[in-house]
Amino acid sequence: MSSPQSDRVPSLRAALLAVVIFVHGVAASPLPPSPTTPKAMANPIAVEELNGWVKVLGGLGIKTTRAELTDLAVKSSTVTSELRTAVIKPFRPLLRITGTGQGWGLFTYPNTHPHRLVIEVERDGKFEVVYRALDPEHAYLEPQLTFRRVRGVYDDNASKVRPSYESFARWVARHAFEDWPDATRVRVKMIRTHVVTPGQDADPIAETRLVRVVKRGEEGP
């Protein structure tokens, strides 16, 4: 015959699992961790999404504009971010101690303006491409550059440049100068492209961003 205490164990376990799933579900949900700003809504990805929703809602007979949807997003994000913070705040100390926090929202939105890393080496006064993401003919340092922890360094700087990007550029330069003794400079940059959906006209525009040039002797130890 089981004791009352042992009978409660499955119920307590189920309740604990429900709380864990709920907290991590809220943390991983595409709710903004902080209120959205008009500046953030002017991002090309956000503008494209808003224009798409204007068309979708218009097809359903709901007339609106991008400015109106922007205002709605800014106001609603304040409410949802406060709700998200209120739910997660009591559990933050435990998540910090156990290292089980959810650091990002899952599947928040597709990136329609991705960045492509390009590395060039200058020899005899001319730059030549030695690495271009997803290009098998230019795959210098590919095993290291495609490793998730290294990729996270430069991908994370695409939207907001941090000191880690400068360190990354010097790290690339150190390797390149060792492998090409006659190289004088190394150039690291990101090419931002525009991915369109099937049926849309291809966008040939490629924006060069985050250009860093490291001269021999400036790469550091």
Average pLDDT, the chain: 86
Backbone angles phi, psi at 127, to 5 degrees: -85, 135
User: Of residues 2 and 134, which shows the higher confidence score?
Assistant: 134
For 17-27, how does the pLDDT look when each residue is reduced to its tens digit (9 = 90+)? 898 888 888 87
Tell me what the mean pLDDT of segment 106-135 comes to.
89
For the cut 80, the answer to whether the pLDDT of residue 154 exceeds it is: yes
User: Of residues 15 and 205, which shows the higher confidence score?
Assistant: 15
User: Of residues 10 and 175, which shows the higher confidence score?
Assistant: 175
For the cut 80, the answer to whether the pLDDT of residue 176 exceeds it is: yes
Give the chain's end-to-end CA distance (angstroms, integer).
71
For the cut 60, the answer to whether the pLDDT of residue 1 exceeds it is: no
Say what the pLDDT of residue 3 is.
56
CB neighbours of residue 45 within 10 Å: 17
| Burial (CB count <10 Å: 0-12, 13-18, 19+), residue 7 | exposed
For 34-88, how does the pLDDT look when each residue is reduced to its tens digit (9 = 90+)? 788 888 888 888 888 898 899 999 999 999 999 999 999 889 988 888 888 888 8
Secondary structure in 3-state letters for 83-115: HHHHHHHHHHHHHHHHCCCCCCCCCCCCCCCCE
Domain boundaries, the chain: 4-98, 115-215
Say what the pLDDT of residue 7 is.
67
In Å, what is the CA distance from 8 to each residue of 17, 20, 131, 139?
A: 14, 18, 60, 58
